[in-house]
């Protein structure tokens, strides 16, 4: 999709981070927007910024874990804008927990947003995008959809699932010669609030709130840079997008050491666990 002017893009998780930055960049390109987030203030702030570029922006509070709400939103987007060309399934949450200590409630909470939210957004908008005659679906996975990491089993499960779901969808659309295309995005560490707002199930020596939030300090890429390459990927019809030098490095390590990379992560986790276990409770 070379020309974004006067197209219509729907974006989940538009209240902050990658969602907000991508919305602003698309607005600069003359793309009209339908924005949603659970953070009502955040998504309204994004909308106000985008309207400065003279585009139509509709906004609402939405929980992507609700299939009915996502389908109702897709119908409203078409009613409000006349059509829709792009859906960016960006909304996501984080959970730090070992498999043993993780509650089913937390596991289901994350999967309902990070995986099922992507499925609902894709299936609700796909027929409308086909009707528009030209369009693109962007599903946000993660580098944790390429490698597994201790204490991130739920996040890994969701992001690996997004990868498989998205790649299969692209293949199906190409088989039928559809004018709709798909990109699977694997961001590395992006300077957003996801780690700060993560749910954490503390396990001595493995998971604690402070270390989960400190992890964010190592994030390398700004949301604005992520948005720039996402919009470029839409224009160039990329199958897969790695965001950040860390994502490129992780992808390379996984390719070169498809199972041995796990030994590196285990060694690092054991070293950290040993230090933490020696600390007073």
Catalogue all structural domains in the chain, each as residue range(s) with its CATH number: 8-278 (3.40.50.720)
Q: Is the pLDDT of residue 198 over 80?
A: no
pLDDT of 180 above 90: yes
Given this model, what pLDDT does residue 236 score? Answer: 96
What pLDDT score was predicted for residue 280?
64
Task: Give, in order, the Cα–Cα distances in Å from 122 to each of 24, 49, 177.
Answer: 22, 26, 18
pLDDT category at 121 given cuts 50, 70, 90 is very high
pLDDT at 125 over 60: yes
For 126-137, b/e burial (b = at least 16 CB within 10 A) is bebbeebebbbb
Task: Kindly indicate the confidence band of residue 206, based on its pLDDT and cuts at 50, 70 and 90.
Answer: low
Q: Are 166 and 178 in contact (CB under 8 A)?
A: no
Q: What's the pLDDT score for residue 273?
A: 77
**For 29-40, what is each residue's pLDDT tens digit?**
999 999 999 999
Specify the residue for token string 């729907």: 10
CA angle 37, 42, 46 (to 5 degrees): 95
Cα–Cα distance between 97 and 95 in angstroms, integer?
Answer: 6
Q: Which pLDDT band, with edges at 50, 70 and 90, does 72 fall under?
A: very high
Catalytic residues: 155
Given a contact cutoff of 8 angstroms between Cβ atoms, the answer to whether 85 and 9 are in contact is yes
Residue 201, pLDDT score: 72
**CA–CA separation, 174 and 171 (whole Å):** 5
User: What's the pLDDT at 207?
Assistant: 63
160 versus 210: the higher-pLDDT residue is: 160
Q: Which residues pair with 10 in a beta bridge?
A: 34, 87
The number of residues making up the chain comes to 281
pLDDT at 217 over 70: no
- Euclidean distance between CA atoms 14 and 81, whole angstroms: 18
Looking at the chain, the whole-number percentage of residues with pLDDT higher than 90 is: 83
pLDDT for position 275 = 73
Mean pLDDT throughout 1-13?
A: 95
Q: pLDDT at position 209, please? A: 64
Residue 14 contacts residue 50 (beta carbons within 8 Å): no
The pLDDT of residue 281 is above 60: no
Asked if residue 146 has pLDDT above 90, the reply is yes
Mean residue pLDDT of the chain comes to 92
């Amino acid at each position: 999709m070379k020309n974004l002017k006067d197209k219509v893009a729907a974006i989940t998780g538009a209240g902050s981070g990658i969602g907000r930055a991508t919305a602003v960049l698309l607005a600069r390109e003359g793309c009209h927007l339908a924005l949603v987030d659970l953070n009502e203030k955040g998504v309204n702030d994004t909308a106000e910024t985008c309207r400065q570029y003279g585009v139509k922006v509709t906004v609402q509070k939405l929980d992507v874990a609700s299939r009915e709400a996502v389908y109702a939103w897709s119908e409203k987007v078409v009613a409000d804008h006349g059509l829709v060309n792009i859906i960016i399934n960006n909304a996501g949450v984080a959970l730090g927990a070992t498999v043993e200590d993780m509650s089913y409630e937390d596991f289901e909470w994350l999967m309902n947003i990070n995986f099922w939210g992507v499925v609902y957004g894709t299936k609700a908008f796909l027929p409308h995008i086909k009707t528009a005659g030209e369009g693109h679906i962007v599903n946000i996975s993660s580098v944790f959809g390429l490698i597994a990491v201790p204490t991130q089993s739920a996040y890994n499960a969701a992001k690996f699932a997004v990868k498989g779901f998205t790649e299969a969808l692209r293949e199906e659309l190409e088989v039928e010669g559809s004018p709709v295309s798909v990109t699977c995005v694997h961001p590395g560490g992006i300077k957003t609030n996801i780690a700060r707002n993560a749910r954490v199930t503390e396990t001595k020596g493995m998971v604690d709130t402070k270390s989960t939030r400190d992890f964010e300090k190592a994030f390398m890429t700004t949301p604005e840079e992520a948005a720039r390459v996402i919009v470029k990927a839409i224009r160039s019809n990329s199958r897969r997008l790695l965001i950040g030098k860390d994502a490129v490095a992780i992808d390379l390590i996984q390719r070169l050491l498809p199972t041995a990379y796990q030994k590196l992560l285990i060694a690092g986790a054991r070293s950290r666990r040993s230090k933490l276990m020696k600390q007073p409770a």
